[in-house]
Structure 1
Amino acid sequence: MPSSDPIDTIVDQIDSLTVRASDANSANTPPSPHHPTTSSPDPKEQDSTPATQANSHGAATEAGDAPKKKKKRRKGGKGKTLPSGFEENFVEAPLTAEEYNKDKELYSAKKTVAERIETAVQKYKAKRKLDPLRHQLLEAYYHLGGIKTGAKMFGGLDQKFIKENDTEEIARFKATDYVPESMKNIGIQRVEELDDDYEDPEYTVDFDYVVRAFVTHKIPFDFGMKSPEQIEKAVNTIKNFLNYILYHNVCPEYTDNIKQAVKTCDKANEELPICAALSDKFPGDFNKACSTLFGGYWSYMTPREWEKVDGELDFKKPEPGLSKEKASEIYHALVCELPHITFDISKTPREVYREYASLEVVSVWLPKPGSPLKLGRIVCKSWTPEEALPITSKWSEPNNLTLYCEKTVAQYAYPKMHFGCTVHELDYGLVYFDEISGVMCSNFLEIRDDKELEVDSDDFDFD
């Protein structure tokens, strides 16, 4: 059955023409002077000539027939060579005059922001080859920004609608990405004194606000992306869409805001891998040792003796945490590095205060290269996340908190970084931390949609 690929058909036609030209040249080419023609064979010899003869590859062919040339097949499937639009050096092709005029029509200032964004989303997805992960990321990003995805209610088209509307309007109506009716007036300025139906706008246009929430919260926590490669792919998917919006001049009145959102993506690419690395290393062995010895989170994670199987210990997998002996060894080796802290080694320290803390890094101190000291210092202050209720803490400004951990861990911390943890204060002044809830970049923002808030409210419904 012939291939349905038009490119394969063209290749076959070229091959066919090549074979015909080759046969014609062979028929018209005179014998080579270096290879004189063989004299006519003796009639007796003609009788002994076999009906078939072997070619150079050992395959039998009909006597007198030249071996047929094999047709070349194009490697790869259909569309394999087409760019996805996400290549590292990908740039949009220059707009032709026709495309430029079309963009001016599609994204005219006479149209609302909602109409223009809706059109841009539909056209963008049509011009990009989205793998499943990029598709999932974009769907989540659009949803966070208020764009609905899925079949529209009452989305069927009758013949009357098709006759009365052009192709663009029909495609727009059938699209699965659309701005809901509740947001159709977003970005429209209304004057209260001149509008009897005026209401304070429920939504505003802020590209950077949505991008911040998506790249600093959704990507690391909801999607759980931690490796630099995963983070770069996710962040650059959103950045690619923003650059498309800029290139086609979809919302010229928000150009500065969109450019700031692009910078937010660049910042996330720098900070998120560092935060991911630190979250795996926190709180460090010194704090794990303190927690194990003095009743913290890691005291419940001490390795237990495995049951014996046929007289032998069954080591199935290493358990997390430190043994009491190992914790004591680490604690006594490093506690002497703490400045301005004295204690009676014969007495067991007692916890006097505990608090879940939301912290922002103020500064980081590391021992100089070659120093025998092993502990670094992270100076923090209490931090209330944006869009959250105020947090009161014992270490609110100006009472900064100094935490200690190995320099190999502290080196990942940087000013403005945030993290959540449980802080424990001992009776002789040492403060250690454990039970890390997350490490967040400097411009962290979490916003949640109505459905997520409804789930939370159900958790506290005791009726």
Structure 2
Amino acid sequence: MATAAVEETAVRDFAVKQEQDASTEVPARADSAITNWTTPQTTPHPQAAEIIRQVEFYFGDDNLLQDAHLLALIKEGKGKVSLHEIMSFRKMSSYKPRSAVADALKHSSLVEVTADGKSIRRRFPPARRMTVKPRLNLNRQKKVIPEDKPWLTKGLMKPTGFEEYITEGPIKPVEFEQDREDYAEDMSFTSRIETAVTRFTARRKMHQETRAIFSKYMLFGGMDGGQQMFTGGGFMTEETEGLTKKEIAEKTAYYGVSERVMDGFEVFEGVSTWSVDFEATAKGFLSSQFMAQSNWYDVNQIKTATNVLRKFYNYLLLHDVCPEYKHQLMAARKVCDVAEEELPKLAVVDKSLPGGFNTACSTLFGGNYAGLHAGKGDWVVEDDDVGWVEDDAKKVFLAGVAAYGTDEQFAAVEAKLDGTKKPFQVISIENLGLEVVAIEFMTEEAKQVYEDPRLTSTIVKPMGRLHCIRWEVPHAPPMDLPKSALEAKKSQKFEFLIDEEILKSCYPGLKMEVCVKELDIGVKWIDYLETTYASFFTWLVNENIREWKEPGPARQWMGRQVGGQEMVGAEGEGGVGVDEGYDDEEPD
């Protein structure tokens, strides 16, 4: 039976990280190394021979070339392996202390200890090819607390159930029977989802980051949360007597469906105010709530959020909690995949727009970036937007017109440079929403302009075109225009010159709020960027509706505020104020 050969490049990468030894002799035995101990001032480890023999076995050709985990550690360490990792191997764990182990290994003819005493590596590369592909085995890897996160403890480093490599299932027969009892189809959805959330959280260890994401998602999706929310406080051990595990879990549940949401499932006059929509909730949370309340510029934060939601949906699917919404759960999982791919790109666009050409136009023609140049004043600090000098802005503007402008626009710019034409005028300013429909990278004609030797070492960067259409921004004020004018605006298309480096992160469906200006020669530019949105952006009224409360009876000061008019229900007229017990005073 044949096995696939490992790529030769992997062998070369492994070999290049080793310090070459001119000698090709077979390494001396460990006993011989101890006999030739060269540091008499140091007492040899009593088990030095065993240590050297065991480590030389690990790094010997017969074992190393088929040990995928050790090969992966060598690759990650660029040729060396942490001594901590080696000492975590089962047959090395009894050898203490590390300093004595390192001292013993200094006398091995196969491996050597690095100058800092923290790592070891082979003295020369293997004579044969690897027979396996390097791959870490998480069960063998030592859990090392990252240097940049010293607050982590060994307990926090243990698996939580949210790791990407952990999968749901399989379900044991006993658990399957329990699921059929607790998630029976004749039970209400709210009862099933509460049970599912309780079990999901009970079987996973939530750290601060995952708890924050999951809690925000639960609250956004119509749940209330709080420690032992159904018990009103402490839940004494003696109170559990006579209760089943299920009843105890219900009493100590952290999350439950909000009363307002619960009421909304009941149809009133043929209309229910709340509906189940896992896909829309995933879109709304990841494109709005998460971005507003988390550092979505951080790729790790994005992965944490999408992974938490994905694990929850997988749990609901595996345990068949709500089969009537199976298609929604599968769609919601796809939203997580899309978000994980899009949001890092969106972060680049959000930080980079409006880009060079648009900034140049804004600087030259009285836009948002005009007059911002701060030079190198004492008040300027790192990362400040110090603006552009006009000479740089002119170079970028002229290059853009030369590369993509029409003959008429180019002639107008030449006339302006000759002084035979009046300064350009801004003829329109509009704040609007845009949706990207296509990305056009640099044309061959434009390439000739941007690769001109006179521009290659300047502030001028290669540009492509971003094609957009109008997008209706949620809650934007309506435009007071005739119907025909509105229809014409809706069908309007836009083209903007954007740096190619920014275009690499753009994608069809990306949305944004911008201010667009236009010159009298027909050149449009993005004067400034207000906000960016993912392609799956969805605005839901969840937060607003849940926070809304029925207004209480009017207070007397309210009547005085509106000119002394009597108000029905005001105090003194038989009404009771919702803030009863407070002084009846004018508001500050």
Normalising by structure 1, we get a TM-score of 0.72
Q: Which runs of 5 or more residues in structure 1 are unaligned?
A: 1-54, 59-69, 191-196, 308-313, 456-461
Q: Equivalents in 1 of 2:503, 2:157: separation in Å? A: 46
**Aligned-pair distance for 1:431?**
0.7
Q: 1:318 to 1:251 in 2, by over 3 A?
A: closer
Q: Equivalents in 2 of 1:247, 1:405: separation in Å? A: 46
Q: Which runs of 5 or more residues in structure 2 are unaligned?
A: 1-42, 47-93, 98-141, 144-152, 450-461, 481-485, 550-560, 563-588
Match of 1:181 among 223, 244, 259: 259
Match of 2:194 in 1: 118
Match of 1:367 in 2: 442
**Aligned-pair distance for 1:337?**
2.2
**CA deviations over 1:311-353 (Å, ceiling 9, x no partner):** xxx8654641212232223222322223324223133211111
Match of 2:579 in 1: none
| Alpha carbons 1:383, 1:391 under 8 Å: kept | no
Map residues 73-152 of structure 1 onto 2, 5 A cutoff. 82-151=158-227, 152=229
Match of 2:472 among 380, 384, 389: 384
**Counterpart of 1:361 in 2: which secondary structure?**
strand
In the alignment, structure 1 residue 406 sits paired with structure 2 residue 477: no
Query: Which is higher, the Rg of structure 1 or of structure 2?
Result: 1
**Aligned-pair distance for 1:129?**
1.6
In the alignment, structure 1 residue 244 sits paired with structure 2 residue 332: no
Map residues 14-413 of structure 1 onto 2, 5 A cutoff. 82-151=158-227, 152=229, 155=232, 165-184=243-262, 198=269, 200-304=271-375, 306=377, 316-317=381-382, 319-320=384-385, 321-340=387-406, 341-342=408-409, 343=412, 344-345=415-416, 346=419, 347-368=422-443, 371-373=447-449, 374-385=462-473, 396-413=489-506
**CA deviations over 1:17-42 (Å, ceiling 9, x no partner):** xxxxxxxxxxxxxxxxxxxxxxxxxx
Q: 1:158 to 1:200 in 2, by over 3 A?
A: farther
Q: 1:388 to 1:116 in 2, by over 3 A?
A: farther
| Alpha carbons 1:84, 1:128 under 8 Å: kept | yes
**Counterpart of 2:166 in 1: which secondary structure?**
coil
- Residue type at the aligned position of 2:330: K
In the alignment, structure 1 residue 437 sits paired with structure 2 residue 530: yes
Q: Equivalents in 1 of 2:165, 2:398: separation in Å? A: 54
Q: 1:90 to 1:377 in 2, by over 3 A?
A: same
| Alpha carbons 1:364, 1:377 under 8 Å: kept | yes
- Residue type at the aligned position of 1:103: D
Match of 1:31 in 2: none
Q: Equivalents in 1 of 2:353, 2:156: separation in Å? A: 44
Q: Equivalents in 2 of 1:80, 1:411: separation in Å? A: 38
Greater relative CO, 1 or 2 (CA 8 Å, sep 6+):
1
Match of 2:117 in 1: none
**Counterpart of 1:299 in 2: which secondary structure?**
coil
**Aligned-pair distance for 1:221?**
3.4
**Aligned-pair distance for 1:138?**
0.5
Match of 2:520 in 1: 427
The count of corresponding residues between Structure 1 and Structure 2 is 378
Q: 1:327 to 1:169 in 2, by over 3 A?
A: same
Match of 1:450 in 2: 544
**CA deviations over 1:207-231 (Å, ceiling 9, x no partner):** 0111001112223333131133331
Q: Equivalents in 2 of 1:420, 1:260: separation in Å? A: 27
**CA deviations over 1:433-453 (Å, ceiling 9, x no partner):** 122122222111123512798
Q: 1:301 to 1:224 in 2, by over 3 A?
A: farther
Q: 1:330 to 1:243 in 2, by over 3 A?
A: same
Q: Equivalents in 2 of 1:380, 1:72: separation in Å? A: 66
**Counterpart of 1:416 in 2: which secondary structure?**
coil
Q: 1:300 to 1:85 in 2, by over 3 A?
A: farther
| Alpha carbons 1:293, 1:328 under 8 Å: kept | yes
Q: 1:387 to 1:304 in 2, by over 3 A?
A: closer
Q: Equivalents in 2 of 1:387, 1:178: separation in Å? A: 31
| Alpha carbons 1:381, 1:395 under 8 Å: kept | no
Normalising by structure 2, we get a TM-score of 0.58
Q: 1:176 to 1:57 in 2, by over 3 A?
A: closer
Give the share of equivalent positions with the same residue, in percent. Answer: 27
Q: 1:423 to 1:105 in 2, by over 3 A?
A: same
Q: 1:185 to 1:250 in 2, by over 3 A?
A: farther
**Aligned-pair distance for 1:121?**
1.0
| Alpha carbons 1:386, 1:445 under 8 Å: kept | no
| Alpha carbons 1:217, 1:444 under 8 Å: kept | yes
- Residue type at the aligned position of 1:178: G
Match of 1:23 in 2: none
- Residue type at the aligned position of 1:96: K
Match of 1:22 in 2: none
Q: 1:79 to 1:326 in 2, by over 3 A?
A: closer
**Counterpart of 2:311 in 1: which secondary structure?**
helix
| Alpha carbons 1:116, 1:251 under 8 Å: kept | yes
Cα RMSD of the aligned pairs, angstroms, is 3.5
Q: Equivalents in 1 of 2:265, 2:502: separation in Å? A: 46
**CA deviations over 1:349-383 (Å, ceiling 9, x no partner):** 11111011100112222224793253311221111
Q: Equivalents in 1 of 2:502, 2:276: separation in Å? A: 40
Which is worse superposed, 267-276 or 252-261? Answer: 267-276
